[in-house]
Amino acid sequence: MLNPKVLAIGLLALSLGACSPEKQAEKSSKKQEVQQKETPKKQAEKIPFKELYAGWRSLQISAKKYESEKNCTPEITLADDYKGPGIGLPLAAELEAKFIKGDMNADGQEDAALNVPYLQCDGGNALRYASISLFFVSQPDGSYRIVEDPKALEKLADILKIKALRSGEVDIECFYHRDEATMGYAPDSSLVKTLSFQDLI
């Protein structure tokens, strides 16, 4: 039969060993490994606006609305027998830093907007200031609806770009209409107009 004093000393030694610097370092190391494994999952939960744009772009190219980057060259698009579109769209990676973010529809989820410049496949520069206005609008189920050039923007003259998103509002930079020059504005000066999110989408 074990002596109770010997048993008590043995248990004390075991508990002290568990609290030793070596054991604590081992526990800390395991905790860091678990945290590192969890971190990529948290990062993956970020809204993939870049991927949403890439998917939208692929659909536009499949529908022959825009040309693929492979075929968006003067040699192809200026050929006599070419019947495809003469403009393309940049890759998602080229626009990644240009997403404008904000909770546009005030639902607690992040929305985004993007000014997508046209790529003129014939090598010209007539479209160098032209762009598509894309809005990535969160839905109740957590998905996103992509709205392209809303009709409300047609009321504005020569849209330059989306400037900012705020709760319920969007700031759009555009040129004045020429008839507004009679009101004291220079005919080609720009201004920022604030549009209601409800009017846009």
The pLDDT assigned to 26 comes to 57
Output the pLDDT for position 193.
78
Q: What pLDDT was estimated at residue 30?
A: 54
Amino acid sitting at position 185: Y
Could you tell me the two tokens for 179? 């008839």
Cα angle for residues 100, 187, 151 (degrees, 5° grid) = 45
**pLDDT at residue 182 in the model:** 54
User: Computed over its alpha carbons, how large is the radius of gyration of the chain?
Assistant: 29
Distance of CA 28 to the CA centre of its chain: 37
What is the SS3 assignment for 7? helix
| pLDDT value of residue 60 | 95
Burial class (CB in 10 A: 0-12, 13-18, 19+), 91: middle
The closest of 47, 46, 152, 166 to 106, measured between CA atoms, is: 166
Total Cβ atoms within 10 A of residue 137: 19
Give residue for tokens 């009709």.
151
In 3D, which of 186, 182, 105 has the Cα closest to residue 140? Answer: 105
Average confidence (pLDDT) per 10 residues, the chain, 201 residues? 52 47 53 48 63 96 94 94 93 93 90 92 86 90 88 65 86 67 56 79 72
Please give the Cα distance from 193 to 54 (Å, whole number): 29
Q: Which contacts qualify for 75-78: CB closer than 8 Å, 24 or more apart?
A: 76/121, 77/121, 77/122, 78/122
Rounded CA-CA distance 107/105 in Å is 6
Residue where the block lists tokens 């940049």: 90
Tokens 């508990």 appear where?
Answer: 15
Q: What pLDDT, on the 0 to 100 scale, is given for residue 57?
A: 96
